[in-house]
Structure 1
Amino acid sequence: MEAFKQHTGLVGPVDRVNVDTDAIIPKQFLKRIERTGFGQFLFFEWRFTEEGAEIPSFDLNKPRYQGASVLISRANFGCGSSREHAPWAILDYGFKVIIAPSYADIFYNNCFKNGILPIKLSEEQVEDLFQRTAQHEGYKLNVDLENKTISDDYGLQLSFDLDEHRRQFLLQGLDDIGLTLQHEDKISAYEAKHLDRLVVKA
């Protein structure tokens, strides 16, 4: 997993509360066995008509938000089923940061395991970001995980809280497997020790 220290990216808004994982990646697209390729189906039923045409009124379909890598949304983002495909789709689409007032717990945890930084801000702070995004075309945010700060080119300076264990996960680019492999020498020594006990001596 790629280490995350700082990211500057275009902001894309999804101005809805209770965005559930079925809206993020509908169930009919869960048949893939790879982690990649889900981005094209992100928010599929909001982005496209039944005939497959783009819905122009959906913000992420607007030209000004193409290439966005910082997603802002409202409270309880990622609620619903626990499917890990939801963060896979978000990451594959190109988002590296999500900013919302609150998240469903399982979705929130899955973000860190997949290299996405989910930031919690107050509803007032998130509303201000929506206003700034609407006001400034090409609006970008700089997210500094090392210092836990968010800034823009218009004087915004915010700080955010994050569990230190999760912060280190992202700073070092570790998932659960990577964290386990940091103790590979101890694991190997343990296995060798117990293998000797299991070998039947002639």
Structure 2
Amino acid sequence: FADIFRNNCLNIGVLPVQVSPEYLEEIFRAIEANPNALLEVNLPEQTITIKATGSQESFDINPYKKANMTNGFDDIDYLLNIKEQIREFAGNRPL
């Protein structure tokens, strides 16, 4: 994915999972065999699994975006969640 597309997806709560070309072929084969095939995306473990075969691949995600998605936060929610830390940091800074 292009960085802007990936970030836009993450900002609206859509998890863009990028897999290898080989794994994508496995996914296509599973869907051809069964149009109702299921995929399981596990964000905490950062894996995607073809349920029918158990075939699994890992994916990367920015740790900050992962934490936000796991907690249901957007950027504003994150800042509100750490507002005391921000106040403390700001209070310790010389003017």
Aligned pair count reads 89
Aligned partners of 1:121 and 1:106: how far apart in 2? Answer: 18
Residue 187 to residue 150, structure 1, CA distance change in 2 (3 Å): closer
Q: State which of 14, 20, 32 in structure 2 corresponds to 1:122.
A: 20
TM-score (norm 2): 0.77
Q: Match for residue 57 of structure 2?
A: 158
Greater radius of gyration (CA): 1
Q: Match for residue 106 of structure 1?
A: 4
Contact residue 47 and residue 57 of structure 2 kept, 8 A:
yes
Contact residue 30 and residue 52 of structure 2 kept, 8 A:
no
Q: Match for residue 132 of structure 1?
A: 30
Structure 2 residue runs of 5 or longer lacking an equivalent are none
Greater relative CO (CA pairs within 8 A, separation 6+): 1
TM-score (norm 1): 0.39
- Quick check: which one's helix share is greater? 2
Could you say what the CA RMSD is over the residues aligned between the two structures, in angstroms?
2.2
User: Cα distance, 1:136 vs. partner?
Assistant: 0.8
- Quick check: which one's strand share is greater? 1
- Sequence identity (%): 34
1:53-202 aligned within 5 A:
103-151=1-49, 152-185=51-84
User: Cα distance, 1:188 vs. partner?
Assistant: 6.8
